[in-house]
Structure 1
Amino acid sequence: MSDSTSTVLSGWSAPGETDSPRTALYTDAFAADPHGHYRDMRAQHGSLAPVLLAPDVPATLALGYLQALRILRDPDHFPADPRDWERGVPADCPVRPMMEPRRNAIRSAGSEHERYRSAIAYALDGVDLYGLNTVVADSPGR
């Protein structure tokens, strides 16, 4: 991340660049009471909390809606392409397969992302949203 990233989100620091204790998201204790852990992280850190995705795999978790939106809407500072991130992650890390690059709009950036997005937008432009709403509303099991 660039030095200007920290000015994009107040209180943000790149994973690995904080002295604050990190909440381990992979533990039985977290799984037993995730809401309590989220509450504690918000109280201690605000809307951006230092976490561990797996042992020795630091990350910053966006807990606030507005902070998450700012991150999602700023691909220059927060790219969806995980290749830079995975350079520092061990090959045997249990969360790595879920975050590896994929050839789709979600896990790409730049011109590749625009190419995927334009194909998706073109396909969805042909969908009658009112007709779709009626079909879904009339579906069994609703």
Structure 2
Amino acid sequence: MVTEAAACESNELTSSSLGQTTLPDEVYQNLVPDGVPVITLDKSSLEQGGPLITDCSAPASFPALNLTWYVNDQRVPGSTSYWTTNDGEQLRKSYSRLELTGVGGSWGDIRLRCEANLFRLFRANSVEVSVKPDVPQPASVLLMESSQTGT
């Protein structure tokens, strides 16, 4: 479900001498989503020594929601990519991808969260996802004692 909220592109209101207020021509509606962003991740590349690839998809709104990534509760200054798609007459869905390279055993648990916002009208967080990179285990070595018999 989408909720409507009215907004003005400029904050300028004019008053006439008769006490009437006129709104600027640049009035539009924001369509606020009813939902939260969803994170999906691909851990398979991480297992092969590659980056941790995570995607965030946000519910449809107008205009499209802004998406912000958090890793271990620290805001990530950018994402690898961001795009939107049409979803209905005026609605736009937002997507963001974050690729973390160099993720290994020294990182410990990685907590990921995606925040979606639309000005001051809407703010929602995804469910926090925790990823524990696989720590390479030392190979097991079985030493066999050779027995030599001398003649």
TM-score tier (shorter): under 0.3
Bigger relative contact order, structure 1 or 2, given CA contacts below 8 A and separation 6+? 2
| TM-score, with length taken from structure 1 | 0.18
More strand by share: 2
| TM-score, with length taken from structure 2 | 0.17
